[in-house]
Amino acid sequence: MSWQRAHEIVHRTSRASSAFQEASLEAVSPHNKPGHSLDVTGAASVPARAARALQEVLMSGAQSSTSSEASIVSHKEEVFEAVRAHFGRSWQQYSNSLSEGALRLVSEEEAAGKSSAFFVFSEDGRYCLKSVAPSEAQSLLQIVEDYKDYVLSHQTLLPRFYGLYEVRLRDSWRSPPVWLMVQGNVLGGRAAVVQRFDLKGSTHGRRASKKELAKGRGSVLKDLDFVSHQCALKCAKPEGLEEWQTWMASLESDANWLASHNLIDYSLLLGFSACSVDELRKPLSHVVRLQVQRSSLGNLQIEIPEGYQLLVYAGIVDCLMPYNALKRVENIICDALISGDISCQPPQKYARRFADFVTRLSCPEELRELVLERQRGAWRPLSFMGEMGRKDCER
């Protein structure tokens, strides 16, 4: 990147800094902005250079851009534009959030997942920029037209995909491109998240590791943690029951849609949040939330300040894994030797299991019985082992 271009980014970033800081204070809680500040103007890391290339193409308004450092192509821009418009994201707001404000990097070590992806969040907390494998990028390109039609006609908790970019760094021409996917930040609300859960509906290996628990407030708990801590989604108000019914219908519909596109390995991400009365009165359009009773946290030792309400933010994440030949082999081997309830399952079975679990989140006794029944029927000779190479099963 030329010195003039770098200077332009610095100038525009500093010029917008105070406005973005003010917007951030008004909108997303600082506790919901993970990671650390990313220096896109001077750092030489892959995340910084890729983010820098994306900022260039967004500032130019073009669908592709080439500089001394990288070339970048925006894929299916007209489709993503329709999705952004449906969710109330104008091009100006979208491009300003990602190109003018400071960005925050969440590294592999800080993330709770099993992949080597990095995550970059916009300063206003509305967007998550995620590096994805080429297979995930191709999955999105294959379904994005159907995805647009689905989200435009259904109430959904599917990820809000806003853009897909292919970045080729100049000194890595022989290496695969860096694929960057922009999506909404599921947990980017005003209320500070006090506990997160990643729920797949499976039982084998679905307990947070000691390493994950050591993160404290930043930890991500899983299915068996949710059950063992007797957590539940108990609506705080009678009118919330109707909203919960809508959630359940959406989750079942979304899971069936994903199965129809041969996709597995997705999760429901929940973020329990302590919310002041003032924050409660100012909902943000880019997050889905439900007010729940304090008892929804079960026996977790989490203190909610006096006078605060408990919210839960929710959304489906990581839904671009195709059930390919490798996954079929994984399912056959692990199902025979390790567990009958491993995460990897054929799409229709994965969707049914996911829906059975998440639609019982408001009924802790039913959920506990479901889990016990699955565990009884899932025992295999090597049940003490984790699944094939899954970092999220580490102890």
At position 160, the amino acid (one-letter code) is: R
Beta-bridge partner residues of 178: 167
Write the DSSP assignment of 30-41 as a string of letters.
GGGS-SEEE-TT
d(CA 304, CA 274): 6
Instruction: To the nearest 10°, report the CA torsion of 49, 50, 53, 59.
Output: -120
d(CA 344, CA 336): 12
Q: How far from chain centre, in Å, is Cα 82?
A: 21
Q: What is the DSSP letter of 341?
A: T
| φ, ψ dihedrals at 328, nearest 5° | -65, -45
Tell me what pLDDT residue 274 has: 94
In 10 A of CB 88, how many CB atoms?
9
On whether the CB atoms of residues 377 and 100 are closer than 8 A, the answer is no
- 218 burial type by CB count under 10 A (0-12 exposed, 13-18 middle, 19+ buried): middle
Nearest to 240 by CA among 351, 307, 314: 314
Interhelix angle 238-260/347-358, rounded to 10 degrees, is 170
Tell me what pLDDT residue 383 has: 74
At position 130, the amino acid (one-letter code) is: K
N- to C-terminal Cα distance for the chain? 43
d(CA 78, CA 143): 14
Tell me what pLDDT residue 9 has: 40
d(CA 212, CA 235): 28
Tell me what pLDDT residue 6 has: 40
E runs forming strands in the chain: 36-38, 64-66, 70-75, 103-106, 119-122, 127-132, 161-169, 178-184, 192-199, 220-221, 263-264, 267-275, 289-292, 309-317, 321-322
d(CA 380, CA 360): 26
On whether the CB atoms of residues 150 and 256 are closer than 8 A, the answer is no
Q: Is 202 left (phi over 0), alpha (psi -120 to 50) or beta?
A: beta
Per DSSP, the three-state class of 87 is: coil
Q: 392 vs 108, 228, 306, 319, CA distance in Å?
A: 12, 18, 35, 16
Q: Vertex 147, ends 84 and 103: CA angle to 5°?
A: 40
d(CA 272, CA 300): 11
pTM comes to: 0.88
User: What is the chain's pLDDT, residue by residue, as a tens digit (395 residues)?
Assistant: 443 444 444 444 444 444 444 444 446 777 676 667 787 776 678 888 888 888 888 888 777 788 767 889 999 999 999 999 999 999 999 999 998 778 889 865 565 555 568 999 998 889 999 999 999 999 999 999 999 999 999 999 999 999 999 999 887 667 789 999 999 999 999 888 999 999 999 999 999 999 999 988 889 999 999 999 999 999 999 989 999 999 999 999 999 999 999 999 999 999 999 999 888 888 888 899 999 999 999 999 999 999 999 999 999 999 999 999 999 999 999 988 888 899 999 999 999 999 999 999 999 999 999 999 999 998 888 877 754 444 444 44
- 380 burial type by CB count under 10 A (0-12 exposed, 13-18 middle, 19+ buried): middle
Both tokens of 257, joined, read 């849609």
